[in-house]
A and B are shown apart, each in its own frame.
Chain A
Amino acid sequence: MKCPSQNSENSGVLVDYCAQKLSAAAKIEFEQHIATCTECRDQVDAQHYLWASLDLFEAPPVSNDFDQRLQARMAEFKQQPWWSRFNWRPALSFSAAFATLAMVFVLQQDPVKKPLPAVPVHETSKLDSVEPEQVERALDDIEMLTQLSAAGSQNL
């Protein structure tokens, strides 16, 4: 046989041997092998020791009220109305995902180019025309600013 210590494909034999899961024939073959292979024998000893050590880790007994607690939870579940028994989380996630996709789809669509609403003629004339008083007032302001800046430079 291929030596399990040297061959990774055969490494499970060692574990199976210690777990007493090898068939009778395989067990005999492996025992013949470890009679001559020191490395495998050491590994078997280590695995046997590990196996015995793991047996120390016992689980404590189950609480006496375990079944009662479970039955109480099941009874509570049975009394709930059908809609609260239903697991809404996947449905909500699905709905949210669907809504997001729908929104993305809608936003990606080319908006239909609607013609801009025509601006009424009387409004455009309002925008284009400038009252004479406004021009006059602006010219007065410019003149005043010029005088002020000239006065300021003389004082300096």
Chain B
Amino acid sequence: MSPQHFDPERVEKDMIAVAALERDAELMLRVRDGDSSSFAALLERHRGPVIHFLYRMVQNQAVAEELAQEVFFRVYKSRTSYEPTAKFTTWLFRIATHLALNYLRDERHERMHESIEEDPSKEGLTRQFSDRVPTIEQKLLREAKLAEVRAAIEALPAKQKAAVLMHKYEEMEYSQIASVFECSESAVKSLLFRAYETLRVRLAHMA
């Protein structure tokens, strides 16, 4: 079976993606030339995905935002040497992944966890769900499921976790994830397959 057959819907999607990538490179080149409003535009486009990715990686909103600040600050600092050789988002997620993996590897993160107050994001999620579900029982069930999902994701090896988050939530292609990790597409596919298999097994009892 070949997944490469002509598909008009897919072609249109790809063209939109290419336009978005060109826009990123164009904005970054303007930032390089000293245009700060272009940096604000880049921040507007990528702030959400980067913070959400980091949040799911470290599972703490305050830490995720601190790491995201560092990602964008590094982008800003290296603006003068920017060359549009790689996709902007690949570069951005490479920095974000690097910081998140370092953070997870660093034993000091436990101390930071203790110093940062109770994660308000968990409360926010509870509130979000409670708006949608009518009964207390359903709400509790949803919260229990969410806790299981978070735990299952947290238990994945750091690289598998990053790959799943980029693939599932950021909808990144295998090739782009491969560029972030600087490895082959087949290595990414194998990484993802193992990660999804682990998650399926861990969450099977919830079905």
Please report A residues at the B interface, Cβ cutoff 8 Å: 1-2, 8, 10-13, 15-16, 19, 22-26, 29-30, 46-47, 49-51, 53-54, 56-63, 66-67, 69-70, 73-74, 77
The distance in angstroms between the C-alpha atoms of A57 and B169, with both chains bound, is 10
Contacts of A30 in B (CB 8 A): 1
- Report whether B204 and A46 are in contact in the complex, using a CB–CB cutoff of 8 Å: yes
- Looking at chain B, what size class is its interface with the partner chain? 35 or more
Given contacts A59-B51, A62-B65, contact A49 B207 (CB under 8 A): yes
Chain A residue with Cβ nearest B199: A50
A24 touches B7 (CB 8 A): yes
The B interface, classified by DSSP as helix, strand, loop or mixed, is helix
0 or 1 for each of B140-158: is its CB under 8 Å from A? (1 = yes) = 0010011011100100000
Q: How far is the CA of A51 from the CA of B199 in the complex (A)?
A: 10
* CB–CB B5/A23 < 8 A: yes
Is the Cβ of A73 less than 8 Å from the Cβ of B56? no
B142→A53 contact, CB < 8 A: no
CB distance from B86 to the nearest CB of A (A): 21
Does B10 interact with chain A (Cβ within 8 Å)? yes
Q: Contact string, B32-59, partner A, CB cutoff 8 A, digits 1/0?
A: 0000000010010001100110011000
**B192 within 8 Å of A (CB atoms):** yes
Q: With A57-B146, A60-B61, A63-B65 as given contacts, are A11 and B193 in contact (CB-CB < 8 Å)?
A: yes
Contact (Cβ within 8 A) A73 B196: no
B61 cross-chain contacts in A, Cβ below 8 A:
60, 63
Contact B55 A59 (CB under 8 A): yes
- Taking the closest CB of chain B, its distance from the CB of A71, in whole angstroms, is 9
Task: With both chains docked as a complex, state the minimum distance between the C-beta of B141 and any C-beta of chain A, in angstroms.
Answer: 11
CA distance A11 to B197 in the complex (A): 11
Listed A/B pairs (11) with beta-carbon separation below 8 Å = A15-B192, A15-B196, A25-B5, A49-B200, A54-B149, A54-B153, A54-B164, A57-B149, A66-B68, A77-B76, A77-B77
A107 vs B169: C-alpha distance when bound (angstroms): 58
Min C-beta distance of A30 to chain B, whole Å: 7
Scan B99-134; emit 1 where CB is below 8 A from any A CB, else 0: 000000000000000000000110011001000000
**Docked complex Cα distance between A59 and B122 (Å):** 9
Contacts of A73 in B (CB 8 A): 69, 73
**Nearest residue in B to A1 (C-beta to C-beta)?**
B1
In chain A, what residue has the closest Cβ to B62?
A: A63
Asked whether any CB of chain A lies closer than 8 Å to the CB of B167, the reply is yes
Q: Which residues between 183 and 207 of chain B lie within 8 Å of chain A, taking CB atoms?
A: 189, 192-193, 196, 199-200, 203-204, 206-207
In the complex, what residues of A have CB within 8 A of residue B167's CB? Answer: 19
